[in-house]
Amino acid sequence: MPRALVTGAGNGIGRAIARQLADNGFEVAAVDIDGAAAESTAADVGGTAYGCDVADERAVAALAESVGALDVVVSNAGIWRSKSLADSTLAEVEDVLRTNVVGSWLIARALTPNFPETGGAIVNLTSTLAEMPGVGRGIYPASKAAIVALTKQLASEYAPRRIRVNAVGPGLVLTEGTRGEFADPGLARAIGESMPLGRLGEPSDIAAAVGFLASPAAGYITGQVLFVDGGWTVNGSAFIGLAVQDYFRQPVQ
């Protein structure tokens, strides 16, 4: 049975990816900084749990040693700090960059030796904010833009080993981490309806794209970024702004 490892697998998009890969026939190693959350996902998908901080070089090295052979690695673990760059502290910026960018590099460097000689696949998680920064997003968009560049660099360096490296960029997706931004159901509905495809994303939408890029069906694809955003990066941004304005103009019922 092929084996896949997913970081940030404890909840949200990471958990959905673990489920998708398990459904696709992979034995899944669920990795999360929260060991209990990793165990919950592992139990859900019939896999194995590992507690690991991807920004910790020694912890990642220990993970690589204990997890064994792999065919697919998904770097999903990430954090954000929703504040302006002017209000961000150096510690906050370093935390985001170290987890999102350095962590993805550490995982790739440590775990690719666990791939077979025939190759494997890495899927990194970026974001539509890599191309569409927003007010109050801090260093997060820059970290996700860096993951795009990292993905292309890894794809170039690992191609001789037949290791494919691609990225998936989620748009507006309802998860435990983003529920606060959509706490007002009317506003969430208005934003969703303003999207070109008429709804907000679900973790399963992102997981399906990751499952494809991890599969043999994507065997000739590397160094690419697939945005799964309901059309937001095409022309959705202006429509969302209008939807928010219209929503707040509505009289209170």
Domain tally, the chain: 1
Catalytic positions are 140
Is residue 187 in a domain? no
Is residue 148 in a domain? yes
User: Over its length of 253 residues, how does the chain's per-residue pLDDT go in tens digits?
Assistant: 999 999 999 999 999 999 999 999 999 999 999 999 999 999 999 999 999 999 999 999 999 999 999 999 999 999 988 889 999 999 999 999 999 999 999 999 999 999 999 999 999 999 999 998 878 789 999 999 999 999 999 999 999 999 999 999 999 898 776 666 666 777 778 888 888 899 899 999 999 999 999 999 999 999 999 999 999 888 755 555 554 445 445 544 4
Read out DSSP for 150-213? HHHHHHHHHGGGTEEEEEEEE-SB--TTTGGGG-SHHHHHHHHHHSTTSS-B-HHHHHHHHHHH
Is residue 235 in a domain? no
Residue spans of beta strands (DSSP E) within 10-109: 27-32, 48-51, 72-75
Is residue 45 in a domain? yes
Q: Which helix (H) or strand (E) holds 124?
A: strand 120-125
Whether the CB-CB separation of 161 and 140 falls below 8 Å is answered with no
Q: What's the pLDDT at 241?
A: 52
Q: Torsion angle of alpha carbons 181, 125, 68, 36, nearest 10°?
A: 0
As a whole number of Å, the CA-based R_g of the chain is: 18
> Token match 């983003």: residue?
178
**What range defines the domain where residue 115 resides?**
3-174+201-230
Is residue 164 in a domain? yes
pTM, entire model: 0.91
Is residue 194 in a domain? no
Is residue 240 in a domain? no
Interatomic CA distance for residues 83 and 92, integer angstroms: 10
Convert 217-252 into a string of H (helix), E (strand) and C (coil). Answer: HHCCCCCCEEEECCCHHHHHHHHHHHHHHHHHHCCC
CATH at residue 155? 3.40.50.720
Is residue 155 in a domain? yes
